[in-house]
Amino acid sequence: MKKRVMLSTALIHEPRILFLDEPTTGLDVKSSRQIRQIIKELSSKGTTIFLTTHYIEEADILCDQIAIIKDGEILIVESPEKLKRITRGKHIIEISFDRFNKQIHKNLEGISSEMEVVMIDNKFRLFVQDPTLILNNVFNFVRKNQLTITSINTLQPTLEDAFAKLTGLQSKDMTVEKKKGNQI
């Protein structure tokens, strides 16, 4: 409710430029969606909005231009789609098994030096140059370790992947780095 009141107060004079710092932090899903909708409407009516956020997905949804900041310096200013194209060439295979543990993660990393493996929740993301070369090794790994694949998908690079590449982070470091304060 406080966020809504603050946003309403900021909008009462119909500003041409609006600065918002983490407008959806700590909000429930319904309130976050309402705030994002208000931001979209303001933008479509011509209000220039400067938004700081650690929620990369939110920046992807709301922003026409994104500045990635590291250690207080702007690294790049570009559209979300152009930023995502920076990571093209990397393919992502997301896979989950009937079992999930750190030993499986460690063994999966040993499949190929051409692959980065990141654990996200109960899934593994494999960042590879050529999925056709890696998939055969993954299937052999599954058979050897008597695992069952419960899901497997290919994903397009995300804005988070671009952020990681541009700031020199490994994808697995993103969770730690979000806590440190790098911003989009």
Q: Which domains does the chain have, with CATH numbers?
A: 2-64 (3.40.50.300), 91-155 (3.30.70)
pLDDT of residue 89: 64
Closest CA to 124 of 142, 141, 91, 100: 100
Task: Judge whether residue 124 has pLDDT over 50.
Answer: yes
Element (H, E) at 73: strand 73-78
Q: What is the C-alpha end-to-end distance of the chain, expressed in Å?
A: 25
Looking at residue 78, its pLDDT comes to 94
The predicted pLDDT at position 3 comes to 74
Q: For residue range 21-72, what is the model confidence (pLDDT) as tens digits? A: 998 888 889 988 988 999 999 999 999 999 998 899 999 999 999 999 989 9
pLDDT digits (tens, 9 = 90+) for 91-116: 889 999 998 888 888 889 888 888 88
Q: Residue 161: which pLDDT band, with cuts at 50, 70 and 90?
A: confident
**What does the pLDDT read at residue 178?**
43
Residues in the chain: 184
- Residue 88 pLDDT level (bands cut at 50, 70, 90): low
Which DSSP letter does residue 7 get?
Answer: H
Is this prediction's pTM over 0.85?
Answer: no
